[in-house]
Each structure stands twice: as C-alpha cells, then as structure tokens.
Amino acid sequence: MTPALYRRQWAQNPLREVLAGMVGTFALIPEVVAFSYIAGVSPAVSLFASFVISVSIAIFGGRPGMISGAAGSVALVAAPLVHAHGVQAMLLATLVAGAFQVVFGLLRLQAVMRFVPAEVRTGFVNALAIMIFSAQVPQMLGVTWHTYALIALGLVIIYLLPRLSDAIPSPLICIVILTAITMLHPMPVHTISDLGDLPTGLPSLTFPHIALNWATWSVVLPYALAMAAVGLLESMMTASVVDDITDTHGDQRMECTGLGISNILVGAFGGIAGCGMIGQTVGNLRYGGRGRLSTFTAGAFLLALMVLLHRWVGQVPMAALVAIMIMVSASTFSWSSLRDLTRHPRLSSLTMLVTVAVVVMTHNLAAGVAVGVMLSGVFFAWHAAKLLRVTEERSGETLTYRASGQVFFASADSLSDAIDYHTDAKTVVLDLTHARFWDITSVQVLEKIIGKLQSHGHTVEVTGLHHDQHGIIASQSNESLLAL
C-alpha cells in the first residue's frame, strides 16, 4: 500500500466517517458486553479490548471500513480456557495468539484461507450460531418469569422496530427500554453489574500474572493457536463481505498482521483477543463508513461512553443481552443451508454437517474447520481419481494403453490396475498425451509399470510425455524413464 493511498483512507469525508463510526459504537456495545459473559470475563475486559482493537486496527489494518472487536467466535474459543484456568491464562493466550497472527501475515499464510471451501465456511457460521445460542441457555435456567417476559419483549423490539425506522440500531433501543423498565419497576433479574466491574478510567499496561512453565504453555498454546486461526478466519470472511459491498479490495496480508498487532496490544492492556465483526461492519458501511476514521471513531467513542456512562450500563438487565444474542444467533445461522442439503452434492452437504458436528462436540471452531477442510480434500481427491480413464487398443503385436485424466496418489493405482502384464503382445505403448502427473507417487507407479512390463519381456514405449508439461517426472524419474 502506498503512503498516498493510506492517507486518502483517513481523509475521505471526515464528517460522514465520524458519524458512521459513532453509530458503529452503539451497535458494538451490546454484542461486546454480551460476549463478555459468554467468555466468562468482566465487561471491562471486553470493552477495553474492543477500544484497543478498533483504534489499533484502524492504524495497522488492511481493510478500511471494517469494524473489529472483542466478540464473535474468538470469545467462544477462549471461554473454556477462562473457565478452567482463569483470566490470566486468557491474557497470555491473547498475547500469543496475536504473535501467531503476525507470523501468519509475514509468511503470507492468510492465503491458506482460500482453501476453505464454501461448505466448510457455512458449517463454521452455523456452528458459531449454535454455540452462541447454547451459551444463552444458562441465563434462562433457574430464573423468574420476569426474565422470560423481558427476553420476549426484547425480541419484539429488535425485530419489529426496524420495520418502522432503522435510524438507531434496534438492539440499542432494546437495551434502553428494558433498562428503563427494570429501573422504574425493580424486579428480580440479573444485570450487567452482576458480571463484574465496568471500566471507570483509561486502560493501563499489564502483564499476565501466571507462571511461565511447561505446564502453562502446554495449556495455553493450543488455545492461542485456535484463537489466532478462528480470529483470522472470521476477519477474512468479514473483509470479503466489505470487498463485495464496496467493490474494492483490501490488503489481506496487512489485515492479518494488523489484527495480530492489535491483539498483542489488547493482551498488553489486559483484554481478550478479538476479530472482525460482520454485523457491525455491515452497519458501518450502511451509514457511510468507508475509511479508517470510522473504525477509529468506533473505538474512541466506545471508551468515552464507557467511562462517562458506566453506572448506567451496569443497570442493563441480562435479559436484554440474551435477546440480542438470540438475534445474533438467528441472523448468523445460514437458514438457506438447510434447504440446500437436498440440492447440493451429498458429499458437500456431509462436509458441512460434519464441520458443525465437530464444533458442537468439541466446542472448538478451529477443529471443526480443520476437519471440514481435510474432509473436503479427501472428497475432492476421490472425485478427481474417478476421472482417470485408461483404454486399450490392440494392433497386431502392439498393445496401446491411452490414459486421460489426473494421475496422482489417489488415482495412480487405477492406472497400474488397468495394465495387463501377462499380455502376449511384444510391444506395449503407454500413450500419456492426455494424462497429467502431479506427484512423486504417480511417477513411482509409472516406473513400476514400465519395470514390470520389461521384466515380462515386453518392449515398452512411452508417448506424449512432454517434460515441460510433466515437470514432476523430469525431476523425479530415473534415467531409464527419461530416455523413453
């Protein structure tokens, strides 16, 4: 990115950018606070983290107009670590996750995200939606009827208000109305203040107070790697949404390293790792946010609100957050994927379902994506292997085999199985004009076929084997094969 382009991304329409960023802040607060209790951390931890991420990613990120915060799938990954080992272990995992992301960016590993097929991405978002909803269940158990009534009212506000006006995000209106009701008519319901203290000042530098021994690293590193991978996946998916809406292209490598730097700073200021937030980003774009200033404003205005209005925020009933998260869960889930189960190829649908199942069973989004990608690779290899065709044609003392298709580790044996090593033909011709060799396994099988035919007294001729096309053969085969 050139310095001139970077400056333009800050300077474009400042008033519009600031207003869009302020609206983005109001959309950010309820989800950040809601995800804080999912992760098992104080709202202050998530709010400070969102401030740091928004300001930092505005400076170091590669996708202008994108809102990032301490919410989403990363909170779900971190939750088991917090519950089992405490907040200090989470802070260390945040620092390490940021370092992983910086390394991923420097090594250009963000390109690996291109190998995540659509069905795995669908499984990812569906599993994320299921986990978000399941995290609300404890808040709806062992409570009075007041909580259920407030949740129902909150959902009515969230879904019906946009039909009248979307000038102010309906989740924010939900919070204001439900908070006003509980303050005017006190009732036995839990509030945000029950989760922990809200911020009353500026964040300060800190360092995880935890023993840095092998036992600690053995616990933290797997979580840190999962947080880094899941955060990058959700951020890259969010960035692609921005690309589609704005018809522009961000710098994915810069976004990757920028997210890593932001999460390192988050850990240094005692926060939880974050990532791109699709809903808030779309809202920012809708209200005109296209540059870096809107992202910066979202974070800076968030801190101002928290410091000045923390007493009011503490009175927000948990029922309002549960209603918001139910809406987030419902909007995150790809309902069309249920219809597509019978329309899409069975193996693609199976991959999506397996991805969801692995995530739900393990509560690890990264594990589900990894299994889905591997399963997709296996299915692709199986399909590609079935495309290999071998025909034979006999002319006098010459038997010709014509191979067409892809020859690699999954299909090489099919080529070998098609050869009759005990034929009475004196000359065997292997016509590979329409075949493509991809790996060492296929080359070794070809050498094996030639060797067996020669051992049975046949003269072997290989045609159509162009070394410029089959470079793997030129680099791996023995001299006898190259001479043919």
Return d(Cα 71, Cα 230) in angstroms, integer: 12
pLDDT reported for residue 222: 92
What are the boundaries of each domain within the chain?
3-336, 388-475
For residue 26, give every residue at least 6 positions away whose Cβ sits within 8 Å of its Cβ, in sequence order, or none.
168, 169, 172
Which backbone phi and psi does 68 adopt, to 5 degrees? Answer: -125, 150
What sections of 314-433 are H helices per DSSP? 318-332, 336-340, 346-362, 365-386, 412-417
* Per-residue confidence (pLDDT) for residue 474, from 0 to 100: 53
- The amino acid that residue 265 corresponds to is L
DSSP of 146-179: HHHHHHHHHHHHHHHHHHH--SS-HHHHHHHHHH
| CA–CA separation, 70 and 209 (whole Å) | 21
What letter represents residue 220's amino acid? V
Q: Amino acid identity, residue 272?
A: I
Spatial neighbors of 412 by CB under 8 A, at least 6 apart, are: 441, 442, 444, 445, 446
pLDDT at position 193? 75
What was the pLDDT predicted at 325? 78
- The position carrying tokens 């869009």 is 20
C-alpha to C-alpha distances, 53 to 49, 284, 327, nearest whole angstrom: 6, 16, 24
CATH topology assigned to domain 388-475: Transcription Regulator spoIIAA (3.30.750)
Residues 179 and 302: their CA atoms lie apart, in Å, by: 19
Cβ atoms of 374 and 363 within 8 Å: the answer is no
Predicted pLDDT at 483: 47
Q: Are 129 and 333 in contact (CB under 8 A)?
A: yes
Q: What is the pLDDT of residue 54?
A: 92
Bridge partners, residue 276, by sequence: 68
Under 8 Å between Cβ of 271 and 94 = yes
> Which pLDDT does position 4 carry in this prediction?
84
Q: Which of 329, 358, 337, 330 minimizes the C-alpha distance to 118?
A: 337
User: Residue 448: how many CB atoms within 10 A of its CB?
Assistant: 13
User: How far apart are alpha carbons 367 and 347 in whole angstroms?
Assistant: 19
- pLDDT by position in tens, the chain (length 484): 788 888 888 988 888 888 878 777 766 777 787 778 778 888 878 888 899 999 999 999 988 989 898 876 788 888 889 988 888 999 999 999 999 999 999 988 777 777 788 888 888 888 878 887 887 888 888 888 999 999 999 999 988 888 887 767 677 788 889 999 999 998 898 887 776 666 777 777 888 888 888 989 999 999 999 899 888 888 887 887 788 778 888 888 899 999 999 999 999 998 889 888 876 787 778 777 888 999 999 998 888 877 777 777 778 888 888 888 788 788 778 888 888 888 888 888 999 999 999 988 887 777 788 898 899 888 888 888 888 999 999 888 899 999 998 888 888 889 999 999 988 889 999 998 888 888 888 888 888 998 899 998 889 888 887 665 545 555 555 544 544 5
Q: Are strands 459-463 and 427-437 parallel, antiparallel or unpaired?
A: parallel
Q: Which two tokens stand for residue 452?
A: 């067996």
d(CA 339, CA 476): 48
CA 421 to chain centre: 50
Task: Name residue, tokens 């034979």.
Answer: 392
Query: How many CB atoms within 10 Å of residue 361?
Result: 11
| Predicted pLDDT of residue 482 | 47
Helix (H) or strand (E) holding 244, with range, is: helix 214-246
| Token pair in block for residue 235 | 């951020």
